[in-house]
Amino acid sequence: MPIIKKPSRLVTRRSALKGLAVGTGAVAAAGTLPGFVRYSQAQSSEPIRIGFQVHRTGIGAAYGRWYDRTTQAATKAINDAGGINGRPVEIIAEDDGTDPKRGAEVVEKFASQHNCDLAFGTLFSHVVFGSAPRAGELKIPYFVVSEGHHVASGKLNRYTLQPGITDVKSQVQAMAPFVSDNLGKKVTMIYPDFAFGHDHRDYFSAALEQQGGEVIAKIAIPPTESSFTKYFPKIPRDTEVIYHVMVGPAVLTFVKEMGEFYGPNKPEIFGFIDSLEAVDMASPGLEFLEGSYFWEGNPRYAQKDQSTYDKDYRAAVGVDDNGASVSDPKDVSTYSHMFGCWETLYTIKDGMEAAGYKGPEDRTKLIEAVESITDIPHSAEHPQGAKIFNGKTHQVFGHQYISKVKDGKLELAHTTSIEDTLYDDEVDYTTQPF
């Protein structure tokens, strides 16, 4: 059960109110077992409507499919345990086409057409950027699962939060100590030539310098590129470590061609799993990755010391021990990102219960309640690991995993501390008016 520091005025107001549902909300918030609240005890069993902005089409579609499955599984788990404040949760999904204009329209649709209590979902940062201003204007809480640095950078607004997944800045900087201590000091970075890639370039270069290492070459690849071999000669010969991160449909080509180029005499390779998210590690041409390292948001392969939380989460979503769908072993999940949907929904649940959320008029109370969350322990609700939420920057911080490829599988080699991922606040959203 997550620990929630409630602002005291919430309690005062709530204790002054009459009504069973409100009372149970307060009890739950005070730390009673989850599942205590049942539909029958609720004042109203109108479902809580959560608008789910999902990449069904466009370049984000492979992520969208697994975000969808995880969201459905989490919703089922929450509803089986009694819903939120005794009310069932209903997911209203709309495709954003991985397009910022459509994303904004979808948020509008949630707020004023579907009468959703809040909006949730989506991965690609440009969709978040396009949608967040509308969420702020419509005053609908917008919980994103995007791993972009947009929320914590202060570029968005008080209605946008990212409590379920860490952002790229903390992921990247947490990798620098491991890379420089274990793999090498001279690093060549290969990244896509757009904002997400530039974040990697800037934050990793800075963090590596602090560790006494150096990025000796930065190779930006245009987003529409479909063949990569011609870029590999740009990798300097004295490179000790190649750091790669690619996204989009051409990722497998990239890794395969890198293998062809180097053959057995390769430098150390460190990649973000984004380069192979939703791709089978057993795909032809990936053998050369043996012995290389990957950042993982959440270990795709069930580890020897797998927690019971991960085991239950895996079963609930329908993912096997290799990170693929239980019904189709070729359908590989986006395991390093999709846990964010599961965890965000539970954070919404905690926030709503702490705020005694009854309807859209309580949206600001919900945001205040989430802002006051700090420690999030490793639990069934948060199977990826313990986290710290920063209410001022609306961003969560957590452990990062580094896995080594052994026998074609990813084996956990190192877990970073949460402290490795922290950085100075760049914004204080709590000072902004609603």
Partner 1 sequence: MDLGPYLLLASLEGAVAAAVLALTAVGLSLVFGVMRVVNVAHGEFFMLGAVLAWWFASLVAGHPAFGFVLALICAPLIAAVIAAAADYFVLKRLNYDPEATIVATIGLLYIIQQTVLMTYGPDARPVEAPFNARIYLPWFGYSTYKFFVIGAAIVLLIGVWIMLTKTRIGLVLRASQLDSEMALAFGIKVDQVYAMVFGLGAGLAAMAAVLVVPIQQAHYLMGGDPLLLSFIVVIIGGLGSIAGTVVAAILIGMSDGIISVFFSPTLAKIIATLLVAFVLIFRPTGLFGKRSI
Partner 2 sequence: MSAAAKSVWLHGGVITLLFALQFVLPAYHHGNLARIMVLAVYAMGYNMLFGYTGLLSLGHALFFAAGMYGLGLTIAFLDFAPSPALLSGIISALIVSAVVGFLALRTTGVAFMIVTLMFAQAGFLTILLFGEYTRGDEGFVIQQPERVLAGIDLTTPGNRYFAALILFSVCLIITARVVQTPFGKVLIAIRENEDRARMLGYDVLRHKLIAVIISGTMSGAAGAAYALLFGYVGASFAAVQYSIFPLLWVLLGGAGTTIGPLVGTIFMFYLIDLSSGLTSAYMLIAGVTLVLLTLFARQGLVGELRKRALPWLP
Rounded-to-integer distance, Cα 49 and Cα 287, Å: 46
Could you tell me which residues come within 8 angstroms of residue 7 by beta carbon, excluding any fewer than 6 positions away?
368, 369, 372
Both structure tokens of 255: 């890794």
Report the nearest approach of partner 2 to the CB of residue 70 (Å). 18
Residue whose CB is less far from partner 1, 59 or 138? 59
Residue whose CB is less far from partner 1, 158 or 244? 244
Rounded-to-integer distance, Cα 39 and Cα 14, Å: 20
Residues 103-142 within binding reach of partner 1 (CB under 8 A) = none
Q: Is the dihedral of CA 260, 262, 268, 272 positive or negative?
A: negative
Report the nearest approach of partner 1 to the CB of residue 236 (Å). 8
Q: Is 278 in the site for partner 1 (CB under 8 A)?
A: yes
Q: Is 404 in the site for partner 2 (CB under 8 A)?
A: no
Nearest to 241 by CA among 296, 206, 204: 204
Q: Is 117 in the site for partner 2 (CB under 8 A)?
A: no
Q: Is 222 in the site for partner 2 (CB under 8 A)?
A: yes
Residue whose CB is less far from partner 1, 197 or 356? 197
Among 65, 87, 126, 358, binds partner 1 (CB under 8 A): 65
Among 37, 42, 84, 132, binds partner 2 (CB under 8 A): 132
Contacts 24+ apart (CB under 8 A), 22-27: 22/356, 22/358, 24/85, 24/86, 25/85, 25/353, 25/354, 25/355, 25/356, 25/357, 26/356
Among 196, 254, 389, 401, binds partner 2 (CB under 8 A): 196
Q: Is 9 in the site for partner 1 (CB under 8 A)?
A: no
DSSP state letters, 103-156: HHHHHHIIIIIS--SEEEE---HHHHHHHHHHHHHHT--EEE----STTTTT-S
Q: Is 186 in the site for partner 1 (CB under 8 A)?
A: no
Residues 85-104 within binding reach of partner 2 (CB under 8 A) = 94-95, 99-101, 104
Could you tell me which residues come within 8 angstroms of residue 129 by beta carbon, excluding any fewer than 6 positions away?
100, 150, 155, 156
User: What is the biggest distance separating any 2 CA atoms in the chain, rounded to whole angstroms?
Assistant: 73
Three-state secondary structure call for residue 67: helix
Q: Is 56 in the site for partner 1 (CB under 8 A)?
A: yes
Binding string, residues 187-226; x marks residues near partner 1 by CB under 8 A: ------x--------------------------xxx-xxx
Among 15, 45, 112, 227, binds partner 2 (CB under 8 A): 112
Q: Is 251 in the site for partner 1 (CB under 8 A)?
A: yes
Residue whose CB is less far from partner 2, 95 or 426? 95
Is residue 131 within 8 A of residue 159, CB to CB? The reply is: no
Q: Which positions lie near partner 2, rule CB under 8 A?
A: 56-57, 94-95, 99-101, 104-105, 108-109, 111-113, 125-126, 129-130, 132-134, 136-137, 148, 150, 155-157, 193-196, 198, 222-223
